[in-house]
């Protein structure tokens, strides 16, 4: 791993690294916040998956999460949202497909299948790398925003026992039925919609093998609420199988990081408690 930068923040350290990824066959960059507690012991990790057009930097700059993470003793890892540095056909043409829009799936269609393997990267390669090289423990939780909320939900639902807790802000909960998801899954996974189901939280929760509680925050003034997000569909699926879901609707709030910053402390406490930290 190549250390790109280190900055002190809240007496901890924000580092950015570059490394070669087997999953994506590209170099990848990620950010990690290490709280001051790493001076004494390994700390648990919250993985944050970002939304469309983001890199590892949006959350770090805008979420206001490091104040409480430093206090709790919680590391936060922010992966990028797609491979970079390629120039595949049409890869950079739209904000909701290709670069910046990996959707946390392992693509099976060409030309994406050799590189767009963000599910493998996020659930397997990156945690193994981080746990082998940085002062963190194997205890981890996962959260994310919008496309990254989708990513957090599917990573947790598909991997019982891997994460201590899962939450999301404004997630895409049912990608197989909304425009963002249908466009992405068509491109990455091909026309056979049967293959899409394994990356759809609303379909996965029906057969979730463990009842891990899920926390979701959603703004009522979110411009994407009725067309792309539709949290009521996920709620109905959870209710049908009595899967524990805390869905909090917030009147007046939109899809932005101002919304995330307002409620991020609640999520950090939720994950901190599940990870055995004193909250």
222 is catalytic: yes
What are the beta bridge partners of residue 136? 43
CB of residue 85 vs a copy of itself: minimum separation in angstroms? 26
Among 17, 30, 48, 66, binds a copy of itself (CB under 8 A): 66
Q: Is 146 known to be catalytic?
A: yes
Task: Please pick, among 21, 99, 141, 146, the residue that the annotation labels catalytic.
Answer: 146
Residue 64 makes contact with a copy of itself by CB under 8 A: yes
Which is closer to a copy of itself, CB of 53 or CB of 137?
Answer: 53
Q: CA 61: distance to chain centroid?
A: 16
38 and 22 in contact (C-beta within 8 Å)?
no
Per-position x/- string for 214-233, each x denoting binding to a copy of itself as judged by CB under 8 A, each - no binding: -----x-x------------
Q: Own/partner pairs for 189-198, CB < 8 Å, 24+ apart?
A: 189/105, 189/107, 189/108, 189/109, 190/108, 190/109, 195/108, 198/158
Smallest distance, Å, CB 277 to a copy of itself?
20
Which of 10, 38, 96, 139 binds a copy of itself (CB under 8 A)? It is 10
HSE-CB at 273 with a 13 A cutoff on CA atoms is 9
Task: Using alpha carbons, list the distances in angstroms from residue 155 to 20, 89, 112, 121.
Answer: 22, 28, 20, 11
11 counts as binding a copy of itself under rule CB under 8 A:
yes
253 binds a copy of itself (CB under 8 A): yes
62 scored as a contact of a copy of itself (CB under 8 A): yes
141: alpha, beta or left? (left if phi > 0; alpha if psi -120 to 50): beta
Based on CB atoms, which residue is closest to a copy of itself, 61 or 227?
Answer: 61
> Closest distance between a copy of itself and the C-beta of residue 50, in Å?
15
Four-residue CA torsion sign, 10, 11, 17, 23: negative
- Which residues does 235 contact at the CB level (< 8 Å), separation at least 6? 245, 247
Query: Helix, strand or coil for residue 169?
Result: strand
Is 256 an active-site residue? no
Catalytic option among 115, 255, 267, 271? 255
The residue among 67 and 158 lying less far from a copy of itself, judged by its C-beta, is 67
Among 30, 103, 196, 257, binds a copy of itself (CB under 8 A): 257
Residues involved in catalysis: 146, 222, 255
Q: Which residues bind a copy of itself (CB under 8 A)?
A: 7-11, 14, 61-62, 64, 66-67, 219, 221, 252-254, 256-259, 261-262
């Amino acid at each position: 791993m190549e250390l790109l930068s280190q900055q002190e923040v809240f007496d901890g350290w924000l580092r950015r690294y570059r490394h070669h990824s087997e999953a994506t066959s590209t170099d990848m960059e990620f950010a990690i916040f290490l709280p001051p507690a790493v001076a004494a012991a390994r700390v648990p990790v919250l993985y944050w998956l970002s939304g469309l057009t983001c890199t590892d930097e949006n959350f770090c700059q805008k979420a206001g999460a490091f104040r409480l993470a430093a206090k709790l003793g919680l590391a936060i890892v922010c992966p990028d949202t797609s491979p970079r540095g390629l120039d595949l056909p049409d890869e950079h043409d739209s904000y909701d497909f290709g670069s910046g829009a990996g959707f946390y799936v392992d693509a099976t269609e060409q030309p994406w299948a050799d590189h767009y393997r963000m599910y493998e990267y996020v659930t397997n390669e990156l945690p193994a790398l981080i746990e082998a090289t940085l002062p963190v423990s194997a205890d981890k939780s996962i959260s994310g925003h919008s496309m990254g909320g989708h990513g957090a939900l599917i990573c947790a639902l598909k991997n019982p026992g891997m994460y201590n807790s899962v939450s999301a802000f404004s997630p895409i909960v049912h990608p197989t039925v909304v425009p963002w998801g249908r466009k992405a899954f068509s491109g990455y996974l091909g026309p056979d919609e049967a293959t899409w189901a394994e990356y759809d939280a609303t379909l996965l929760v029906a057969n979730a093998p463990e009842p891990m509680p899920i926390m979701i925050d959603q703004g009522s003034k979110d411009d994407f609420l009725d067309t792309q997000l539709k949290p009521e569909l996920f709620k109905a699926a959870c209710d049908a199988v009595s899967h524990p879901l805390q869905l909090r609707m917030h009147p007046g709030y939109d899809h932005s990081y101002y919304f995330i910053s307002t409620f991020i402390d609640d999520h950090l406490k939720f994950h901190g408690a599940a990870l055995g930290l004193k909250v």
